[in-house]
Structure 1
């Protein structure tokens, strides 16, 4: 299968590309510049010039392929609402191309959209709320209603492993700058996690399986790691004190990251594992934090 991948040079997308190649697929990777062209060529991937705001280029990339995996998203949280709305437009544009065919579309969403404080699974549909990223799932449902073979992979708050530049590095940066690693109250709020290489295998399995339009899969290998355990691993890695703060103090400490630090999500991937035969095998988040890949710089 020839597969169009957005985010093909990113942390998750590059692992997806490698997994696709390993499984014998050809890959067309979205490329925004010459540097990306070279990175893709180095791993045997055909580049397709475009960007996330150029819908015409995205449609052309999708049209040239037998299926697509959309992992790209602008993670500048100062533009989160704008980026989420743009993701809706991207999904609708892909749907225009794949309508009337069985070509598969795999779209990335987030576990963080789901209900907090209780176990959630793949059947859960996010309720309307303040999180703009809900636009992604609403767009998928709209495209699925047009008969498009589209599925969602919801990723854990922590997709970890070598090269990570997302939530865990952000926590490490805050702890390094402020000289303490902080958790809130008892630190009992939970974060699901998945290793990037396990996540990559999930995306490819989802692509290869024909599922009902709108099917959700969960990229979760650990259902809910206590935030206190994460804070303690970071404190150990940086050799700084680990401190509990109340909610108000934590909000001040984490600043713009406070919303994410307060997440309490307990998520299952049982349905995903059973339906796709997906079996996460890579080290867990705390094991990664206890290693040497997060604290070298």
Structure 2
């Protein structure tokens, strides 16, 4: 199958395209820098130059593909409106191109933003609707295209997709511990983060392409919820710094922008996903990765 991928040089995307190539697919990927293009070409991936603001280019990539995997996101937390607008524009463009074709459209989303009063499941709908909502309401927008003949599959990733060389949320929290000389957790540290190793997340992407029905919401979650105190304790061991609680009102001041996320309870299950796809996570746990130095090695 010929697959057009956005975000193929990113953390999840770089591992996901390896799985797609191993399954015998051919990949064309969006790239916006020489470094990304070189890394993609080294894997045998055809490069299409452009970024998320190049909607005409995204449309061309989707038109030529038998399936589209959209993993890119600006992740500009200083200008969330711009990130949301770009995400919605890309999803609208891809959906319009694929309408009536029954071609697969796999979209990256997250369990963050789902219900926090309990462990969320695949049956929980996203509450984000409309262009001004988180991620531009892209998940719900993509699902609307099912009725227009698009084989939409939602990939909801855990808040931490961890592993060596990850520069995501856990690396930011680790940097805060290094800066302050203390590994902190919010309040009593009982709020939880779902987690998945990047190798397991990448395999789920490939299985979702091969097996998931239109309209499916898949959870890339291996651990339902790791308490923030356990995360902080592991970081403390890795950096050899003390561990302490931070009052909830001081979390953002201590951690910066990531504090708004680290104080949330983001537990989720993947029971339905595992049953549907025959997917069994086998990678190391988040704490095992931290203890092994994944976030302290150069």
SS in 2 for 1:85: helix
Alpha-carbon separation, structure 1, partners of 2:244 and 2:133: 29
CA distance, structure 2, for counterparts of residue 249 and residue 99 of structure 1: 47
**8 Å Cα contact 2:85-2:136 kept in structure 1:** no
Stretches of 4+ moved more than 4 A in 1?
Answer: 128-131
CA distance in 2, matches of 1:101, 1:210: 17
Cα distance in 2 between the residues matched to 1:15 and 1:148: 25
> Shift of residue 215 of structure 1?
1.6
Give the TM-score of the pair, scaled to structure 1.
0.96
CA-to-partner distance for each residue in 1:41-80, whole Å, 9 max, x for gaps? 1111111111100001001111111101111111121122
**Range 151-160 or range 139-148, more displaced:** 139-148
Counterpart for residue 91 of structure 1 = 91
Contact in 2 for aligned 1:106/1:151 (Cα 8 Å): yes
The equivalent residue for 1:146 is 148
In structure 1, the partner of 2:260 is 259
Question: Displacement of 1:81 after TM fit?
Answer: 2.5
What CA distance in whole angstroms lies between the structure 2 residues aligned with 1:6 and 1:173? 28
3-state SS of paired residue (1:86): helix
Structure 1: distance between partners of 2:246 and 2:240? 19
1:227 corresponds in structure 2 to: 228
In structure 2, how many angstroms separate the alpha carbons of the residues matched to 1:102 and 1:33?
32
Confirm whether residue 244 of structure 1 aligns to residue 249 of structure 2: no
Contact 1:193–1:221 (8 Å) recurs in 2: yes
State the alpha-carbon separation in 1 of the partners of residues 133 and 188 from structure 2. Answer: 26
Counterpart in the other structure of 2:209: 207
Aligned residue in 2 for 1:48? 48
Checking the alignment, whether the CA contact within 8 Å between 2:105 and 2:151 is kept in structure 1 is: yes
- Seen in structure 2, the aligned counterparts of structure 1 residues 210 and 120 have a Cα distance that, compared at 3 Å, is closer
Aligned length: 296
Conserved? CA contact 1:40–1:46, under 8 Å: yes
Structure 1: gaps spanning 5 or more residues? none
Q: How far apart, CA to CA, are the structure 2 residues paired with 1:81 and 1:234?
A: 32
Q: Contact conserved, 2:59 with 2:97, CA < 8 A, in 1?
A: yes
- 1:288 aligned partner: 289
What do you get for the CA RMSD once the two structures are aligned?
1.5
On the 8 A contact 1:104/1:210 being kept in 2, the answer is no
Which 10-residue stretch deviates more, 134-143 or 8-17? 134-143
* Secondary structure of 1:115's aligned partner: coil
2:74 counterpart residue number: 74
The whole-number CA distance in structure 2 between the counterparts of 1:249 and 1:89 is: 36
- Structure 1 stretch displaced more, 277-286 or 135-144: 135-144
Q: How does 1:153-172 map to 2 (within 5 A)?
A: 153-172=155-174
Question: Shift in Å at residue 131 of structure 1?
Answer: 5.4
Q: Aligned to 2:175, which of 173, 176, 182?
A: 173
SS at match of 1:224: strand
For the residues of structure 1 that align with 2:127 and 2:35, how far apart are their CA atoms?
40
Q: TM-score, structure 2 length as denominator?
A: 0.95
Gaps of 5+ in 2: none
Q: For 2:31 and 2:49, how far apart are their aligned partners in 1?
A: 5
